[in-house]
Amino acid sequence: MKQKTHHLYYLYYPRGWIIITLLLFIATATAQEQTPPPDEFPIGSSLSGLPWRRTIQNYYDSFDSSGMNIVFQYSDNNTKELLNDYEVIGTNYDTTTNDWIGYYATCYYTKWEAEQNQLDPTRVGFKHEYGKAANWKGIQCWSTKDLASSADSLVYGPHYRQDNRYKSWQHGDRHDVRYFVRFNMALDNPQSADTSLPVCKIKVVYRYRKYYSATTYDDSNLVFLEKTLKVKDFPDSGHFKYFNCDEPFPYYTYPKRFILPDYAGEIEQIPGEDYTYSDSEDSLGIQFVVDWLVEDPQVSGLTLYVDHIEVYDRDWKERYIEELEQAVFRIQTYAANYSSWDNLKYWAGHDEPYSIDAFAPIRIVDSLLYYNPQLLHRHRLLQTFNPYWTPDELINGDTLLCQYYRMANPEKLFIDFYPFSPSYPFRGYDAEVLRKRFQLCNQLQRGFWYMGQGFAEILLADSSWWVWRFPDPPELNATVMLALAHGSKGILFFTYDSWKYKGAIYGLPPEWHYLKGLVDTLNGTIPVSDLWYLIRNNLAQRLKGKLGNKLMSLDYTGVYLPLRRYFNEPGVFNTPPTVTERYLTLTEYTGESTPPPVHFHAGFFSRPGHELDNYFMLDNLITTDERKVWVTVEPPFSGYKNCRFRNVEGVFDTTFDGYSNGIVKLLTYPAGEGYLYQVAPVIKYGGRLLYSEATQPAMILEDDMTIENGAVLTINGVYSSKGNIIVKNGSIMNGSNGKIQFAEGKKLIVEGNGTILSTSGNKLELIFTERQDDNVTGIMIQPGGSLSISNCKVADATIGIESLLNANYLYAQNVEFINCETHSISIAGRSPGMNPTPPPANHQL
């Protein structure tokens, strides 16, 4: 087993990973009274990165009116009261108040285990031309065992692109990134070889590609650092020692011509040259190399062991590695200053980390926050991750999103992905690229969060879109619905307010830019956009209401069903006119004379612990106008007569015969809209009972159920009802030892003609609970309702039977009332003298 000296340094090699189980965030203190409930669907935005707006009340009034409940915002005593109504993601990144969380989280550091043996040369990781894995002094490593001669590339790789600028202003000059490297190695010298004998050469090599055209290129190597080590440089004891490359400098920086483009993944022309460069393809990027120089190891008896190689920037070296105890104290003490912030959910970490070297600091800072003895299991780290637009989804031969999730181990996977370009409308191709990212996110972590594109950038000189355009409401809505269809459990938008900036501060040409958010910023006023109204009038209400509440209780299964027709775009494949998955069939609607493009997407959901409770979310990804689709739903289970099919938000709720071939329904969808549907047995999950059916002992009813169409509900054994049972036209009968046990506050309501029947020797028991607030429990006959009840026991109700004003009639025979709180029978409109009400005790008619 490999011995580790400090667990916070170790990373990447799969067999050597230190895995820390991070529990879900649990707030142990009582939240502020106004703070959103902990299980409410989070929907929010980033609110004003401009310092002078942080305490302006009308920005918060505007945000509050939008209905959103979570916000990125600078967090200090000046903003605390203004943020009381929301969950907060603290976004400080402060260069003046020692925001150590943001500082350390945006450093660069990776530890690469030398014994990792990446056999696929196109993927990231250490490779070896020679040598073998070994264990030296209890440490797993790579060695020169059994080598008969010198060998180049004993260890080489990992081949990955590095950031050569910082994403945070806290590190001084953003383009002054200095990387240090140290090799941890040991030498076994049992024969006391000549101390001047060269042993190995350690190197840092940058490999990049010059593109002269799309198909013409060549690869080049640039040696940043190298050093030759001799026998005398190693400890005589054979113990491991760190070796630094200090020739010609103790660090390396990237030459200016290799400064990354402003948008990673783009390739930019080098001024004055006839080529472009790239380091994002496989086998390109940085390498740490160990060459074995000993010509005759058998004569010298030397064996080299390479444990690991670490790379880190100047700030990580000086403020973490060399000041470890102080670093831990700084991070945890800064977080502890916010112990009274019960609504602070996360600290913002490294925004859109672009390089593997950014991942370990995120994991380390997050673990220090989580295990902070001053603030245990609170205030975790959160950062948005951009999974790139590369056609094959790969960076250096690997999916960077997967590497980020494995190596940074974020408590919440949170991506941003912005598909709205000034070059084209929202296309089928854009939806498909977005779908692939969402699908991968769900595979990595159920319930991931998504940051939608609620912004645009404008060049003020000519008012033209720059890089990003402002989406139309159906376009933004479609991306949100697609995220929800893949199980997202958090939706935020970048950005809320708007501001101007000069490109020069980001290394761009010095034109004025306008970042347009959900609200404009004009002369101190805050005019809202169409997207703001989309959020307030649609998304916020739905996600904090029935749709969001239900989605929070479900898991996306990873199974989906697309219906795509009449597309003529690269990367978008048309499906047949009828497609089927599981219990759902989608069929193209052909009512139009000229068929338009059709693009529907369905994602299937399950409810943990409820295998019969099925859901699917169906989205219309056409954002120009409405579309129709034929939907066929078959019973996804057997043995249940009444099968519920409903729109969770109440558009329709119908029942079909579970012993039939299912139901066919034509659904009409507005542009870019999505809806969640439930398919479940009525007798277990509520809905309309249209056909007679019997319960089974210990069965539980999860939601309200209405008995209609003359249906008979037969009770066998105990039937626990978490919802109200409403009788519109039907009967409840006792089968065998029937008992209905109502949950707190639930009742039996008669709205039409209802009958409750049993026999004198086998009475049906109706067991209620004490009232909840003013919610009376028991049997309630609504105006216009009629009830005939016989041979039953009614127990523990507030009022055994309450007949409201204008009810038709009540006929009760051989009914036993037990422990009813106020009355056994109460009939509205009848004075006690005319119709004496039985006392609140055991009573039998």
Report pLDDT for 315: 96
Distance, CA of 357 to CA of 353 (rounded, Å): 9
256 confidence band (pLDDT: 50, 70, 90): confident
What is the CATH number for 220?
2.60.120
Mean pLDDT of 736-752: 97
Report percent pLDDT > 90 for the chain.
77
- The verdict on 298 and 214 lying in the same domain is yes
Neighbours of 621 (CB within 10 A): 33
Q: What is the pLDDT of residue 286?
A: 97
Q: Does residue 170 surpass a pLDDT of 90?
A: no
**Is residue 540 domain-shared with residue 617, that is, in the same domain?**
no
Domain count, the chain: 4
What are 477-496's pLDDT values in tens digits? 999 999 999 999 999 999 99
* pLDDT at res. 21: 27
What CATH code is carried by the domain that includes residue 628?
2.60.40.1180
Is 2 within the bounds of a domain?
no
**pLDDT tens profile 313-356:** 999 999 999 999 999 999 999 999 999 999 999 999 999 998 99
pLDDT tens digits, one per residue of 111-131: 999 999 999 999 999 999 999
Instruction: Report the distance separating Cα 301 and Cα 231, nearest Å.
Output: 12
Question: In one letter, which amino acid is 733?
Answer: M
Q: Does the structure show a pLDDT above 70 at 832? A: no
> Please, is 491 exposed, middle or buried when counting C-beta atoms within 10 Å of its C-beta (0-12, 13-18, 19+)?
buried
Residue 271: per-residue pLDDT:
58
Q: Cα 553 to the chain's mean position, in Å? A: 14
Q: What CATH number has the domain bearing residue 448?
A: 3.20.20.80
Residue 817 has pLDDT above 90, yes or no: yes
Q: CB-based contacts of 558: which residues, under 8 Å, 6+ apart?
A: 439, 442, 443
The answer to whether residue 486 sits within a structural domain is yes
pTM: 0.91
pLDDT band at 246 (very low <50, low <70, confident <90, very high): confident
Residues in CB range of 16: below 8 A, 6 or more apart: 2, 10, 113, 115, 140
Q: Residue 28, class by beta-carbon neighbours within 10 Å (0-12 exposed, 13-18 middle, 19+ buried)?
A: exposed
Co-location of 678 and 691 in the same domain: no
Dist. CA 401–CA 574, nearest whole Å: 28
Q: Per-residue confidence at 2, pLDDT binned at 50, 70, 90?
A: very low
Mean pLDDT of 139-156: 93
77 & 204 share domain = no
- Tens-place pLDDT, residues 588-629: 999 877 778 999 999 999 999 999 999 999 999 999 999 999
Q: What is the pLDDT of residue 172?
A: 82
Structure confidence by residue, pLDDT tens digits, 389-426: 777 778 999 999 999 999 999 999 999 999 999 999 99
**Range of the structural domain that residue 590 is part of:** 554-684
Residue 726 and residue 612 share a domain: no
Instruction: Quote the percentage of the chain above a pLDDT of 70.
Output: 91
Range with the lowest mean pLDDT among 41-50, 386-395, 432-441, 804-813? 386-395
HEC string of 244-278 equals ECCCCCCCECCCHHHCCCCCCCCCCECCCCCCEEE
Residue 541 corresponds to which tokens in the numbers above? 């209400």
Least confident of 336-340, 441-445, 498-502, 592-596: 592-596
Q: How many residues in total does the chain contain?
A: 845
In angstroms, the CA 594 to CA 567 distance is: 14
Residue 1, in any domain of the structure: no
Alpha-carbon distances, residue 839 vs 414, 574, 777, 842 (angstroms): 61, 71, 17, 8
Q: Which of 638, 661, 684 is the last residue of a domain?
A: 684
> What gap in Å lies between CA 667 and CA 619, rounded to an integer?
11
Residues 6 or more apart whose CB falls under 8 angstroms from that of 15 comprise 140
**pLDDT at residue 544, as a whole number:** 98
